[in-house]
Amino acid sequence: MTESVQLATAEPTSALIPRATPATWLGVMGGGQLGRMFVHAAQAMGYKVAVLEPVADSPAAHAADHHLVARYDDAAALQELAAQCVAVTTEFENVPAASLALLAQRATVAPSAANVSVAQDRMVEKKFFIDCAERSGVLPAPHLLIAADQDIAINADLIAATLLPGIVKTVRLGYDGKGQVRVRTLEDVSSAFAGMQGVPCVLEKMLPLAYEVSVLAARGADGTSVVYPIAENVHRDGILFTTTVPGPHVSPECALRAHDAALAIIEQLGYVGVLCIEFFILDDGSLVVNEMAPRPHNSGHYTIDACMTSQFAQQVRAMAGLALGDVRQHSPAVMLNLLGDLWFDTASGACTEPAWDRVLALPGATLHLYGKDDPRPSRKMGHVTFVASTLAEAQDSLHAACAILRIAL
C-alpha cells in the first residue's frame, strides 16, 4: 500500500530555488495530452522530463524521458520526482494540492499548491474572483452553494427569483461539461442535486451570453506578466469545439477589459506559470468571469502554430526561471478539437481512421494527434489548427475540414 501525503503548511519561495538550465530535469504531474505537449516543448529547449502518472500507457508517458508509474499522492514517488527535477508543474488541476506542497519542499513547483487549490473548488474560486473584483473589474455570475437538500428549501424564494434558469455544477472535479446540469425550476434543482449523489454543488444563474472568450496569461517568478491575444471559443455539449483568434466578435474595448482583468487576477494570485481564465461576454457587452485553469489550456493550443512562443514553451520558461517569451501572434488562426466520435461511421458504427490526408492537404492545416489508441465518443483525440494570412482564409480551411470529417457547422 502506498503512503499518502498530507498538506504542507509552507512552500519555499522561488528566490531560494536555483534556475533550471537545459540538460537538467523538469517534472510534470499527469500523463494526458497537455503533459505530452509540455514534454515536447521542454525537450525542444534541451530539458529532460519526468512524468508522474498512474496509467502506464498515457500520452505524456510515451514522450517523456522517464515515467514514474504511481498515484499522484504516492509519497515515495513524489520524493523521487522532487529529487530528480529542479522544477515541477501539473498538466491538470485535479492533482492533489497536498502532493504539490510536498514536492515544493525540495523543488520549484509552478503553479503552487495554493494556486491550484483555488481552482479545484468552484466556491473558493468564486470567492477569490469577488475578492479580486476591485482590481479586475469583473465578477462571477450570481450563485449559491448547495451542500444539502435544506439549502434548496431554505433559499427557495431566492433561487426562484434570482438564480433560475441556471446550471447546477459540482463544486469539485467537473470538466468538459461533466458534473453539470441545466435547471429551470426548483424541482429541477432538487433533482439535479440528487443526481450528483449529494456532493456539494453550486447553482449558477444562466446569463444572456453573446459569446465566450478565454485569456491565456503567464507570470514569471520575477513578477513579469504577459497576455496572449484574446481567443473566442465555441462549445458543443460542454466541450470546446473551436477557438478563433482574433475573435471575430471581440471588440478592441472588450479585449482590453479582458486583458486587464487577467493581469489583475494573475498578479493577485501571485501566480507563476501559464493560467487560462474564461470570461462570458453578455448581450449588453459586459464581462463576467467564469472560471480559471491553472495550466496550459485547450483553447491555447493555437499558440503552437500561430504565436512566437507556444503556451507550453511559456510554461517551461516560467517554471525554469527564464524570461517569458514573446506572445505576439504572427498569423490568424482557428483551432478545431478532434473528438473520438470522428472515428466512427454514423451509419454502420464501424471504427475507421479519419481522412487526415485530405485534411492536411488544406491550406494552413497542422494536425496534432495525442497518441491515444482508443477513440471514444467525446474523448479528445487531437486538434487541427488552421493558420492563414487572413482570418477568412483560416475559416475557409476550417469549413472544408469539417466537410471532410462530416462535422456539422
Determine whether the annotation assigns residue 233 to a binding site. no
H or E segment to which residue 42 belongs = helix 33-44
Concatenated DSSP letters of 129-158: HHHTHHHH--BPPPEEEE-SHHHHHHTHHH
Determine whether the annotation assigns residue 204 to a binding site. yes
Concatenated DSSP letters of 318-341: HHTTPPPPP--B-S-EEEEEEEGG
Determine whether the annotation assigns residue 291 to a binding site. yes
**Euclidean distance between CA atoms 234 and 285, whole angstroms:** 17
Determine whether the annotation assigns residue 176 to a binding site. yes
**Euclidean distance between CA atoms 167 and 119, whole angstroms:** 18
Determine whether the annotation assigns residue 207 to a binding site. yes
* CA quadruple 238, 241, 246, 248: dihedral sign: negative
Determine whether the annotation assigns residue 206 to a binding site. yes
Determine whether the annotation assigns residue 212 to a binding site. yes
In 3-state terms, what secondary structure has residue 303? helix
- Beta strand spans in 354-406 (E): 365-369, 380-387
Determine whether the annotation assigns residue 370 to a binding site. no
Determine whether the annotation assigns residue 228 to a binding site. no
Determine whether the annotation assigns residue 126 to a binding site. no
Q: How many other CB atoms are there within 10 angstroms of residue 248's CB atom?
A: 13
What nine digits make up the cell of 58? 498515457
What nine digits make up the cell of 82? 522532487
The DSSP bridge partners found for residue 335 are 243, 385
**Terminal-residue alpha carbon distance, the chain:** 50
Closest listed residue to residue 371, CA positions, set 61, 42, 90, 94: 61
Placement of cell 489550456 in the chain: 297
Mention every residue, 6+ apart, whose C-beta is less than 8 A from residue 203: 143, 144, 146, 159, 163, 166, 167, 168, 183, 189
* CA quadruple 113, 260, 211, 184: dihedral sign: positive
Q: What are phi and psi of 388, to 5 degrees?
A: -160, 175
User: Phi-psi bin for 257: left (phi > 0), alpha (psi -120 to 50), beta?
Assistant: alpha
Q: How many other CB atoms are there within 10 angstroms of residue 356's CB atom?
A: 16
Determine whether the annotation assigns residue 238 to a binding site. no
Determine whether the annotation assigns residue 235 to a binding site. yes
Determine whether the annotation assigns residue 179 to a binding site. yes
What nine digits make up the cell of 96? 492533489
CA 250 to chain centroid: 21
Determine whether the annotation assigns residue 175 to a binding site. yes
Placement of cell 492536411 in the chain: 360
**Binding site residues for ATP, as ranges?**
122, 169, 174-180, 204-207, 212, 235, 290-291
**Binding site residues, as ranges?**
122, 169, 174-180, 204-207, 212, 235, 290-291
